[in-house]
Structure 1
């Protein structure tokens, strides 16, 4: 596409947006503070363009023709209308963390709908609920909850954006007690392809179900979630201890697989695995961090660990009692020691680095030999370059049916794996070497992880699983990657798509295609 046609598309969209804004008497703010296009931007920095994954920050990466930063629902409705009118795709951003760039990259002419100004939070302590807009960070949500109550919390990850996290599932340190973030969504405010503003009652239970785990951008634009807050004690206990290969890490990891998913649901004990420099010059070792949140005091925790996992050797000095909000800061692993809860209000940008990530689920414990082989793969990449996080399931996760939400990875899984590689050099050969390594790691794990299908997590998008073809994609084609994320729920999601976006306006490389006709049965459409 020529530079002239790109500019014309952006100008046509902007002119259309202006016209409709004037007709609707929208005087909330100067249009130049909402729509950033060819006539009021000149370069990347003015354009407000942010690419957190440096793999995609290249001169050849296609830029959006327009960025819209809405202040309210009307601006979103206008964006949908004008994009449809001028043949532009919409990519929706809220938190900005996106492993494959689906929210800010497209090969076709597109508009970024950047929701970062929609970040309000309203908390109802009496009813233990809250309304949260998509661009609010989880850190901000946690902090505001803590200012209202010392015994309410929300089960999600650390400090990423609410919109993508909740709409894709969302796991965190409370998942064994209270399930996923999306399990605790009780209403939503949503704008569909026709610009209609819907809530749970008006959208119907099928669409509401789909929004709780399959990503709002598949179906329209989520502008707010109503969430259920959960109970926590005034004091929780955190421990973070590390063991190396020289400290029996292999045996501890093997035993962890039997303990962490079955221990009391008040304890979530995750693993963080890294290759690090050894004390022996020029050599590497493996460091395994046991990072844990316990909903109770140290005495009870130590008793539980002595009974179930004495091999770890946990002692009182390893444990710290604190408020739940302080535990969020500690377990985030991005703040300095002793940082106050106020740091959660800092909406810091995603780390600027080169990364490639994958995900897996494990149904049966991996043998000692399998773990030792894993270490050999880690030793093939430089220290601090490779990482794995193992998050235990069990508890509430094992009690929830796979069909309860689009996220199906429930009973049968003992833990989830996040696999990643990091590097800092811009050189293409260096990038390819690291990407090849994480793919090798993923291949090595094949015998040990869930099969038929090999499961993955939608919030950790991975285009290696497959992408949609250009233009119209069939349900069968999309199933190549779709069943990895959603298993048997994928068909129902495609039926919901046919119901709410039959022309597949909201689309990307991994969006759910509409399924209708003879194949569609479960919704009766």
Structure 2
């Protein structure tokens, strides 16, 4: 059948893209033909208005930017998708996977676009520049159904955490859900990596409270917990996104919360004993009752102690007097709010905006960022904090440190319960988070150098063998995948980043990958590789 003019133009554009992807591509003509056939395959079952390509630059760019949260990965030298499929029903995801498999086009999946290294919508590694990819955008798949009588909810992956919080709060004042503080995060990516938040010390991670999931596997089949099997279901709940299929929706357990909870924010500068308070916090916060979550944000040479207490102000005041009187908390520091309003507090650093703000999906990227993370198992001495403060936090390019306490129920959940292994033995999680607004190489190098420099400085004081990292704080500095034949190298992935994210769970994740995606269709710079045959036999 003769091509339409639009298809001819598209073919020329994509041929040019192939040339730009690299001169080492085995056959540019064959690649361009495969891409053309892939797009034709999509159009047979997906309305053309839902498929955006570089041939329509305005609508393509708008969709690419719609939930791209990090400006670093929409720069001209970053490899862009050959097409973006804005799925509006589950069948669109199935078609995308089947067409990608048939025509050799990888599929990356984006729910909220918060991947720190942009892996859900960009390719940043040379190996992948020779692999054309499309983005399956799930933002329109955002339905949420809350069943307060059963204390359960179904949420599609394109829904944001804020939308889920709002729906739960609207259905019941005595139910909540343990997830993170950023309301624009997509449910899909957040739950796929574990999902740590202010209720984790009481109820564990998001992933610990997942009851079922609907996933499109590597063959394009729609599966749930009973049909996929428990190993596959285990891997989805914390094994990182984009390795085991496309999760379209999640069934989650809601947790009981008081109708009134208490929050506070207390800021202390260095001359108000900030360093001494952080030193004391390291032992106090993880050992405190699990009803208390007390984190520290260090920014602009100030330490901000932010708390959520599952109870009234009087109970929190007595607890702080018993466990942390040095902070100087008074009852006037308290704010008694509903649980859903507490999520507004952590999302926007204020309780003065209404819960409806959680529904704001505004997502135009406004800054560049680089982040790294650590786990701390022994209190860092006061004199070390003095050095950190003087040598690093007083620099003009100094960024944000986030200290999130573990303990509580986190210490009682076995590390193999889900792929997220960072449970027992950790006092807190430490994140180095640099963001900047200036464009240009000099600004980026200065900010990134600060993050990497402080990370190196902290090495003697954090976990080791491996130096543990939270997969939702994705960090390509650890290493990126390489091919071993037609699939990702297991051993290289394990050594460079796998053990750091998943410790002893990495081999099991690779074994699941071998069972559900043996041809390694779902892959990116840090996707789980299949387990080699010899190791697979050993694991049985």
Match of 1:313 in 2: 328
Equivalence for 2:197: 172
**2:360 counterpart residue number:** 346
On the 8 A contact 2:65/2:364 being kept in 1, the answer is no
- The match for 2:109 is 92
Residues of 1 paired with 2:420 and 2:538: CA distance? Answer: 18
What residue is the counterpart of 1:280 in the other structure?
none
Closer/same/farther in 2, CA of residues 201 and 243 from structure 1, 3 Å limit: same
* 8 Å Cα contact 1:11-1:39 kept in structure 2: no
Quote the residue 1:125 is aligned against.
148
TM-score using structure 2 length: 0.90
Aligned to 1:416: 429
Report the counterpart of residue 317 of structure 2 in structure 1: 302
Question: Are residues 43 and 338 of structure 1, via their aligned partners in 2, closer, same or farther at CA, if it must alter by over 3 Å?
Answer: closer
Counterpart of 1:489 (choices 463, 484, 505) is 505
Contact conserved, 1:392 with 1:415, CA < 8 A, in 2? yes
Q: Deviations over 1:170-194 (max 9, x none)?
A: 0111010001010000111111001
Q: Distance in 1 between matches of 2:103 and 2:536?
A: 31
Aligned match for 1:75, one of 92, 111, 119: 92
Distance verdict in 2 for CA 1:255–1:350, change over 3 Å? farther
Listed one character per residue, the Cα deviations across residues 399-449 of structure 1 (whole Å, up to 9, x for unaligned) are 011100000000100000111112222121221121111101100110110
Quote how far apart the aligned CAs of 1:101 are: 1.1
Matches of 2:379 and 2:246, distance apart in 1:
40
Deviations 1:269-317 (A, max 9, x none): 000011x2xxxxxxxxx20000000000111111111011110010011
- 1-structure distance, mates of 2:178, 2:153: 13
Offset of 1:218 from its aligned partner? 0.6
| Structure 1 residue 351 displacement after superposition | 4.6
TM-score for both structures, normalised by structure 1: 0.92
Q: Call closer, same or farther: CA 1:156–1:43 in 2, change over 3 Å.
A: closer
Which of 402, 409, 419 is the equivalent residue of 1:406? 419
Distance in 2 between residues matched to 1:12 and 1:4, nearest whole Å: 16
* Kept in 2: contact 1:88–1:111 (CA 8 A): yes
Equivalent-residue separation in structure 1 for 2:62 and 2:210 (angstroms): 36
Report the alpha carbon displacement of residue 17 of structure 1 after superposing the two structures with TM: 1.7
Q: Which moved more, 1:126-135 or 1:2-11?
A: 2-11
Task: Rate the CA distance shift 1:40–1:435 in 2: closer, same or farther, 3 A.
Answer: closer
Pair 1:504-2:529 in alignment: no
Pair 1:139-2:152 in alignment: no
1:459 corresponding residue in structure 2: 472
Which residue does the alignment assign to 1:438?
A: 451
Query: Secondary structure of 2:198's match?
Result: coil
Aligned ranges 1:68-467 → 2 under 5 Å:
68-106=85-123, 107=129, 108-158=131-181, 159=183, 160-274=185-299, 276=300, 286-333=301-348, 338-349=352-363, 351-379=365-393, 381-382=395-396, 385-467=398-480
- CA RMSD in angstroms, aligned pairs only: 1.8
For these two proteins, the number of residue pairs brought into alignment is 503
The SS at the match of 1:261 is: helix
> Is the CA contact (8 Å cut-off) linking 1:259 and 1:308 kept in structure 2?
yes
Q: Distance in 2 between matches of 1:348 and 1:492?
A: 38
Distance 1:453 1:269, change over 3 A: same
Judged with a 3 Å threshold, the aligned counterparts in structure 2 of structure 1 residues 248 and 380 are, in CA distance, closer, same or farther, namely: closer
Aligned position for 1:282: none
Contact 1:387 / 1:419 at 8 angstroms: preserved in 2? yes
Question: 2:74 is matched with which residue?
Answer: 57
Cα distance in structure 1, aligned partners of 2:430 and 2:202: 19
What's the offset of the Cα at 1:64?
1.1
- Deviation readout 1:194-249 (Å, 9 max, x if unpaired): 11111111111111000000124111100111000000001000010000100011
Closer, same or farther: CA 270–379 of 1 in aligned 2, 3 Å: closer
Provide the residue aligned with 1:283 in structure 2.
none
The CA deviation at 1:472 is: 3.2
What is the CA–CA distance in structure 1 between the aligned matches of 2:434 and 2:391, rounded to whole Å?
A: 12
Aligned-partner Cα distance in 2 for 1:356–1:441:
13
Structure 1: how far apart are the matches of 2:252 and 2:220? 24
CA pair 351-369 structure 1, distance change in 2 beyond 3 A: farther
Query: How many Å separate the matches in 1 of 2:194 and 2:381?
Result: 29
Gaps of 5+ in 2: 1-13, 20-31, 124-128
Partner of residue 518, structure 1: 534
Cα distance in 2, alignment partners of residues 180 and 15 from structure 1 = 41
How far does residue 12 in structure 1 lie from its aligned partner after superposition? 2.5
| Structure 1 residues 53 and 4: alpha-carbon distance in aligned structure 2, compared to 1, 3 A threshold | closer
Rate the CA distance shift 1:4–1:484 in 2: closer, same or farther, 3 A.
Answer: closer
Q: 1:77 to 1:296 in 2, by over 3 A?
A: same
Q: Separation in 2 of the partners of 1:450 and 1:315? A: 35
Q: C-alpha distance in 2, partners of 1:60/1:78?
A: 30
Q: Tell me the distance in 2 between the aligned counterparts of 1:298 and 1:91.
A: 46
2:161, 2:187 within 8 Å by CA — same for their partners in 1? yes
Aligned equivalents of 1:322, 1:380: Cα separation in 2? 35
Distance 1:248 1:4 in 2: 56
1:81, 1:454 → 2: CA distance? Answer: 38
